[in-house]
Amino acid sequence: MFAFHKLPLRSYLMAVAIFCNEGKGKSALALSRDLGVQYKTSFVLAHKMREAMASECRGVKVGGEGREVAVDGGYFGGYVKPANLAENRRDRRLWINQSGKRKVVVVICEQNGRTIPATFGSESASLNFIKSRVEHGTTVQADEASSWDALNFAFPMKRINHQEAYSLDGACTNAAEEFFSRMRRAEIGHHHHLAGAYPGRYAQEAAFREDRRRQSNGDQFKTVLALVAKNEPSVDFCGYWQRAKAA
């Protein structure tokens, strides 16, 4: 994050501290006001910090013999505003009436462990990702969606039908649901608009906050500062506004 910097070092340290101080996220507009910089600057700074947060989980695998993980998917972005007149409105749940920007965030939540998210076009497209990040012998908990049926061949499964109960006979996906609840609050209360290339970054930030929500702000600040200091120049956002690279 500090590569090719033009702001004083104090401003970058303030950005990390302010970013860590929020429980469910920090909007780029609010960050720009706090730092006294342009929106463009704060937008890139925030995404560089999200990229650093994500680096902590790069290649990490969860679970193992006797361990349990919950998997679930939540849809974000691609909001389509309804037409003004009732007779012109369409069912926005149908693919033909969507914007094409809507993504599903699939999350793997280990019981008393790590949270690993990723974005896909559909839940069923995430199966290889789940298999690569969950150790063999792990018990996987999932809901009744047919997208997860293929996992039965790779892991012992516990399924919960949400039409009947949220938790039953030791099966539940509450850990994943709690993650999506917090991420949804961040979308509605701070960011308002998650679409295109960005939902994955916001999900990685939400996972970092989820795993460290019981840590002090000082410890979170030290962790993020260490991550941004040791990371290479940003893959996606170094030269972003100059169109040197597109996120």
**On the CB side of 78, how many CA atoms lie within 13 Å of its CA?**
21
- The pLDDT tens digits for 17-50 are 999 998 889 999 999 999 999 999 999 999 999 9
b/e per residue 154-170 (b: at least 16 CB within 10 A)? ebebbbbeeeeeeeeee
Q: How far apart are CA 205 and CA 23, in angstroms?
A: 11
Count of beta carbons in the 10 Å neighbourhood of residue 117: 27
Residue 96 DSSP symbol: G
**On the CB side of 179, how many CA atoms lie within 13 Å of its CA?**
34
pTM: 0.87
Domain boundaries, the chain: 1-55+214-247, 61-80+90-211
**Residue 111 predicted with pLDDT over 90:** no
Place 247 in a pLDDT band, splitting at 50, 70 and 90. very low
Q: 61-80+90-211 adopts what CATH topology? A: Nucleotidyltransferase; domain 5 (3.30.420)
